[in-house]
Amino acid sequence: MADDDEEEEAPAVELGDGDPVEGAPLARVASRLTWPKERSEIERLEGDATIRTPDGSETLADVLPETATTYFDSRQEFVDEVERVVGTGAVPTADE
């Protein structure tokens, strides 16, 4: 049990005051699904989800047709394949 006298802990990472980034991280979208999963089923369930990419926000439905596989055995395989298409790196803020 926590003591009532303890001060509230500060966040482990300081959050910036910059502009918010549109869309959700790919890992968050992937965590909402169970695996294995067909690409068409991912598109049906999460196709309208906007994900953050280094080139700006994109809908998952726009990215999925560019993936090389139609069946993902695991969450990691899905994330790796989508990152192969959209790239990895810094994500621009909403105003960039």
Per-residue pLDDT of the chain (96 residues; tens, 9 = 90+): 555 555 566 556 555 555 667 889 999 999 999 999 999 999 999 999 999 998 889 999 999 999 999 999 999 999 999 999 999 887 766 654
Give the chain's largest Cα–Cα span.
Answer: 55
- Residue 95 inside a domain? The answer is no
- Residue 91 inside a domain? The answer is no
> Distance (Å, rounded) from C-alpha 90 to C-alpha 96?
12
> Distance (Å, rounded) from C-alpha 37 to C-alpha 70?
9
The total number of structural domains that make up the chain: 1
Range of the domain at 30: 26-86
> Distance (Å, rounded) from C-alpha 69 to C-alpha 32?
20
Contact of 86 with 54, CB cutoff 8 Å: yes
Confidence at residue 1, expressed as pLDDT on a 0 to 100 scale: 52
Q: What is the pTM of this model?
A: 0.75
Q: Token pair for residue 93?
A: 């803020």
Please tell me the total number of residues recorded for the chain in this structure.
Answer: 96
- Residue 81 inside a domain? The answer is yes
Contact of 94 with 22, CB cutoff 8 Å: yes
- Residue 94 inside a domain? The answer is no
